[in-house]
Copies of this chain bind each other. A is one copy, B any other.
Amino acid sequence: MKKVKRPPRGTRRRDVPLTEARICAAALRLIDADGVEALTMRKLATALDANPMSLYHHVPNRDALLRGAVRMVGAQFRTVTLEDAPWQERIRLLATDFRTLAHRHPNLMAYSFSQPDFIQPEDPFWAALIATLDVPGVPRSEIRQVAALMCAVVIGVLIAELNGSLHQWSSLDPTAPAAGEDGPPDAGPDEERMFRLVLDTIITGLESRLTADDDGQGADRDGAPEADPWSGEPVFVPRQQSVSSSRWPDPV
């Protein structure tokens, strides 16, 4: 009579005890398979061959579970520093590493990109990015903002790539409406080329901004922020702050 509680299934998992790491790993598997929104405490429990309520003894709630999965994936990001390469190549390497990680767990990464706090100050990725931007002489007062913007840019491209927008927009011809499926059908091989194109454009823009500032490489670092052209007004932008507040009257 008691034996019916553990029927002889094909794969037995419950001889190993329930830990937070095992729970998060199983959650990551479910997310990789079916997406974040398909992760359910009850489904996760049956995947672990456990009672749904047992999970709450190791994980406070579903949000913490998701954070644990994100943390588990982020721990896989171990950047080789490659200190002898030029800074442009080091930035490229950091970005492509990021992209590889995003391709490994696209469902989880697409979710975590929209969450705050998924890059922490002690992440080796962040430290490597800061160190790399310090090489060509980005002013110390601006270096964190430049690093933040590079993260935002890379994440934006990765989001658009992961959810298919990049491919869809690239084949969005306003003049010729129906081109058929002439190009590659689904997983375009030129997403990587486009990713490199953004990186190159950003790096080129950084370079020209840096050379415009270049009077003595190591001198005047950490100076007053108002002194260097990084903090000045951009060349082309007019003062248009009042233009955008009077547009689009909300009809709701």
Contact = CB atoms under 8 A, between A and B. Distances in A.
Given A204-B209, A205-B206, 20 more contacts: A28-B252, A78-B248, A86-B236, A99-B244, A113-B114, A116-B163, A121-B174, A126-B172, A126-B174, A144-B169, A145-B194, A145-B197, A148-B165, A149-B201, A153-B198, A200-B209, A200-B234, A201-B206, A201-B209, A202-B202
A116, A205, A234: residue with the most chain B Cβ atoms closer than 10 Å:
A205
Contacts of A54: none
Given A101-B248, A153-B198, A173 B144 contact: yes
A242 to B, nearest CB: 12
13 contacts: A92-B236, A93-B240, A99-B244, A100-B244, A116-B163, A126-B169, A144-B172, A156-B159, A196-B237, A200-B205, A201-B209, A203-B236, A205-B205
- Chain A, interface SS category: helix
A84 interface: no
A252 B25 contact: yes
Contacts of A205: 200-206, 208
A174 B127 contact: yes
A176 to B, nearest CB: 10
A92 to B, nearest CB: 6
Interface residues of A, number: 90
Contacts of A237: 89, 92, 196, 199-200
Interface in A145-167: 145-149, 151-157, 159-161, 163-166
Contacts of A244: 96-97, 99-100
Nearest to A165: B116
A218 interface: no
Contacts of A153: 153, 156-157, 198
A186 interface: no
Contacts of A117: 165, 168
Given A121-B174, A144-B172, A248-B100, A201 B200 contact: no
Contact of A197 (B149, B155, B157, B192): B149
A135 B205 CA distance: 20
A226 interface: no
Contacts of A166: 148-149, 152
